[in-house]
Amino acid sequence: MIKTVPQHPPMTQFPVKGNNLTVGGIELTRLAARVGKTPFYAYDRQLITDRITELRRQMPDELKIHYAMKANPMPAVVQHMAALVDGFDLASAGEMKVALDTPMSAENISMAGPGKRPQELMQAVAAGVTINIESFHELETIASVSGQSGIQAQVAVRINPAFELKASGMKMGGGPKQFGIDEELLPEALTRINELNLDFKGFHIYSGSQNLKAEAIIEAQQKSIDLAIKLSDYHPAPIKKLNIGGGYGIPYFPGETPLDTRQVGDALAKAMAKFKAVNPQAEVIIELGRYLVGEAGIYVCQVLDKKISRGQIFLMVNGGLHHHLAASGNFGQVIRKNYPVAIGNKMNKPEKETVNIVGPLCTPLDILADKMDLPAAEIGDLVVIYQSGAYGYTASPHQFLSQPEAEQVLV
Ligand SMILES: *Cc1c(COP(=O)(O)O)cnc(C)c1O
């Protein structure tokens, strides 16, 4: 017997019809025929809508929810999002183009990211989006492009806080960081913004990503609000926006449990009341990527070959790390763990076998499933990777090994 690794609880967001998983009500084999090829990513628009509706129920009424586009910048997804969220957060002029093609107003779009190019800053100033300033040099560049164009720049300051987000998959604040201006230097930055006559909107504090612990998120949100209150003395103008980040995670691996957003929402309502008492005119914003889209997407590839090597079954598929780096375990994970996987056209087949699913690339890193118990699959069957709506397609090295591209569809 092969020792299997811990197995996932059943995934339930995509209904099953007969032996097929369905996406947007369409059976997977039919969807594959419609797309015309494998591999592809499929995102379910109704699941995205439901997720946001449910989240709004848990969060304080006055809270603004923004979509962080880098999680999934597919134009069709961003269009769909435009009607559901209060704003977009983006990280490049490329993302800005997609955002501005939607009905979302530039007033509700902000741009963050270290190392913004002068050209990109010019475009952002002209578009009228809020630029989250991440360094003193960037501040001066913004003032200079603003002066050249005669368009007043809309700015906020991204703060690198003195605290860190505990239990976060990826820390992006606290300690020495490329992101934001260190909290200690804020009075100086605000004085300079005032001198340069930039239109100051408020603060952006982003402390990390992929967090499943309500207490950790609550603590980070409270500290962010306390910090904004503390900085009230130094503002050149009253704050209009306070973006306190997000970092809400989704479960990927066995043993992980979903974030308790009810608990987060209740605590946030109290913290917001405290903030609003001091800054009644200000919007409080959270920005989420993964949490809004991650569970609404799957990656689908097809079995090309099946063999046994020294007692273990290998399924070779036509997709892999070049399309889905994260599922292969190479996008920031320390120890490789399996994403939830299914055989999408054999959902109700009872006979299971323990398999390794590997991609076509000539590297041992190209693994999609390591010793998982799945229905016995054959050549031509459809392998599904769940939790693939965020950091999939655009977070993967498509050029590696010159394999064909994957498709993307919003269903
Ligand atoms: C990446 C990023 C996000 C989105 O993170 P998720 O974990 O996908 O929610 C939000 N804000 C900023 C500044 C980011 O860099």
CATH class of this structure's domain 73-288:
alpha beta
Identify whether the C-beta of residue 168 lies closer than 8 Å to the C-beta of residue 247.
yes
CATH class of this structure's domain 16-43+295-410:
mainly beta
| Among 77, 102, 38, CA closest to 297 | 77
Q: Name, in order, each residue with C-beta under 8 angstroms of 226's C-beta and a sequence gap of 6 or more.
A: none
Cα of 411 vs centre of ligand 1, distance in Å, is 24
Active site residue 301: no
pLDDT of 108 over the 90 cut: yes
Cα of 267 vs centre of ligand 1, distance in Å, is 21
pTM of the entire predicted model: 0.96
Question: Judging by beta carbons within 10 Å of its beta carbon (0-12, 13-18, 19+), is residue 5 exposed, middle or buried?
Answer: middle
pLDDT in tens, 146-198: 999 999 999 999 999 988 777 666 777 888 899 999 999 999 999 999 999 99
pLDDT of 407 over the 70 cut: yes
Residue with tokens 């010159």: 402
Find out whether the beta carbon of 110 lies less than 6 Å from any atom of ligand 1. Answer: no
Find out whether the beta carbon of 72 lies less than 6 Å from any atom of ligand 1. Answer: no
Write down the pLDDT at residue 232: 81
Q: Which atom of ligand 1 is nearest to the CA of 249?
A: 7
At 52 the three-state DSSP class reads helix
> Do 16-43+295-410 and 73-288 have matching folds?
no
Mutate to test the pocket of ligand 1, among 95, 131, 287, 293 (most ligand atoms within 8 A of CB): 287
Write down the pLDDT at residue 165: 72
Q: Which atom of ligand 1 is nearest to the CA of 290?
A: 8
Identify whether the C-beta of residue 390 lies closer than 8 Å to the C-beta of residue 252.
no
User: What whole-number distance in Å separates Cα of residue 187 and Cα of residue 56?
Assistant: 34
pLDDT in tens, 338-395: 999 999 999 999 889 999 999 999 999 999 999 999 999 999 999 999 999 999 999 9
At 45 the three-state DSSP class reads helix
Find out whether the beta carbon of 171 lies less than 6 Å from any atom of ligand 1. Answer: no
Write down the pLDDT at residue 3: 66
pLDDT in tens, 59-99: 999 999 999 999 999 999 999 999 999 999 999 999 999 99
Write down the pLDDT at residue 71: 98
pLDDT in tens, 232-291: 878 777 899 999 999 999 999 999 999 999 999 999 999 999 999 999 999 999 999 999
Write down the pLDDT at residue 4: 66
For the chain, what are the domain ranges?
Answer: 16-43+295-410, 73-288
